[in-house]
Amino acid sequence: MPNPSLLILPGDGIGPEVMAEVRKVIDWFGANRGLSFEVGEDLVGGAAYDAHGTPLTDDTMALAQSVDAVLLGAVGGPNYDDLDFSVKPERGLLRLRKEMDLFANLRPAQCFDALADFSSLKREVVAGLDIMIVRELTSGVYFGEPRGIVKEGNERVGINTQRYTESEIARVARAAFDLAQKRGGKLCSMEKANVMESGILWREVVTEVGRAEYPDVELSHMYADAGAMQLTRWPKQFDVIVTDNLFGDLLSDLAAMLTGSLGMLPSASLGAPMANGRPKALYEPVHGSAPDIAGMGKANPIACILSFAMALRYSFDAGAEATRLERAVETVLADGVRTADLMQTEGGTPATTAEMGDAVVAALSAGG
């Protein structure tokens, strides 16, 4: 059988730096575990605009559709702020999500014990935290029509439309229920059914799917604003959370900061199964392009490395190897290796981006 295929899109800012460290990990699995990939690389975001005048070429889009998984670094930067909206770097990422139909965005928020004191919350609130937020990714207010800025009388009006179909809600609900079955058996659905018709439909459909197909999963509902409050009060009450595109964007970033650093958190965006049974998939760190530290060796590559661990688990049926990589990261952190974003307490060993990547590879090797 041919090796599984992986398309790497480093992107902008610190994207190429953190992706270089993932390359080391990929090479290690090929050399030491017989897990090799056909790896291609291309441009996205500002890098693609600089080279081709568009944040994502049709050829790159076609390539992304053909591979088993896409691994993306980050897009954007202040030097692109004045571009027309249609060619801003972020439009490349949105096109990937939309045309690959990546409707379920998985954002884990896990607090490693070595970093429990890095959170702005008390240690007892976040220590041992391990939750998953499932965000609907291809519909809702970010994609609804009509949209735009129009003139009404003497003033401009900005319009965005929140729109969900029954089938769009049901499929992301099933993805969340499936995860809950494999985790703690609890799913909390968050919306604003008290003030939004789309929220009413969301609650009804999630409830129907749960009753008909997942009676073994404990389903609860919560208004999204109350959910934000509860995430900061006692986040460990949750296991899996499912929510819409807008609320998922906000709540997953909130949950990310519970763990102490955006530089630690991966994500997966999954779509319908392909002919080989694997879901279409794009993996990326939650953090942005951080242009202020690009090229300085300060970036934390762990979120990107853990995004590859998610690819191992969800795209390549290599759950044991994913766990091996996650444990290597945990070992490195327990040993006190720290990139700049983690140097908040005394006693850590400062590490550059490359040194952190080397430490993870060394921990993989030490693990046998």
pLDDT in tens, 196-229: 999 999 999 999 999 999 999 999 999 999 999 9
Considering the entire predicted model, what is its pTM?
A: 0.89
- Given the residues 249, 280, 314, 341, select the one marked as catalytic: 249
Cα separation, 290 vs 109, in Å, equals 20
Cα separations (Å) of 133 from 191, 239, 262, 273?
13, 8, 15, 21
Cα separation, 240 vs 133, in Å, equals 6
Q: Is the pLDDT of residue 275 over 80?
A: no
Which CATH homologous superfamily contains domain 1-107+264-368? Isopropylmalate Dehydrogenase (3.40.718.10)
Mean pLDDT for all residues in the chain: 93
CATH number among 3.40.718.10, 3.30.70.120, 3.40.1000.10, 2.40.30.10, domain 130-258: 3.40.718.10
Residue 1's pLDDT is what?
Answer: 67
Residue 312's pLDDT is what?
Answer: 96
| Beta pairing partners, 150 | 157
Q: Is residue 249 annotated as a catalytic residue, yes or no?
A: yes
| Torsions phi, psi for 238 (to 5 deg) | -100, 155
Q: Is residue 142 annotated as a catalytic residue, yes or no?
A: yes
Lowest mean pLDDT among 51-65, 74-88, 314-328, 341-355: 341-355
- Given the residues 49, 80, 142, 214, select the one marked as catalytic: 142
Q: At what angle do helices 197-213 and 166-182 cross, to 10 degrees?
A: 50
Q: Which of 228, 295, 252, 256 is nearest to 115 (CA)?
A: 256
* Look-up of token digits 């994207």: 15
Q: Do 130-258 and 1-107+264-368 fall under one CATH topology?
A: yes
- Given the residues 88, 192, 280, 298, select the one marked as catalytic: 192
For the chain, give every domain's residue range. 1-107+264-368, 130-258
Q: Is 178 in contact with 217 (CB distance < 8 Å)? A: no
Per-residue pLDDT band for 23 (boundaries 50, 70, 90) equals very high
Q: Is residue 253 annotated as a catalytic residue, yes or no?
A: yes
Our measurement of the distance from residue 245's CA atom to the centroid of its chain's CA atoms, rounded to an integer in Å, reads: 13
The encoded tokens of residue 160 equal 């965005």
Q: Is 6 in contact with 311 (CB distance < 8 Å)? A: yes
- Given the residues 50, 178, 225, 358, select the one marked as catalytic: 225
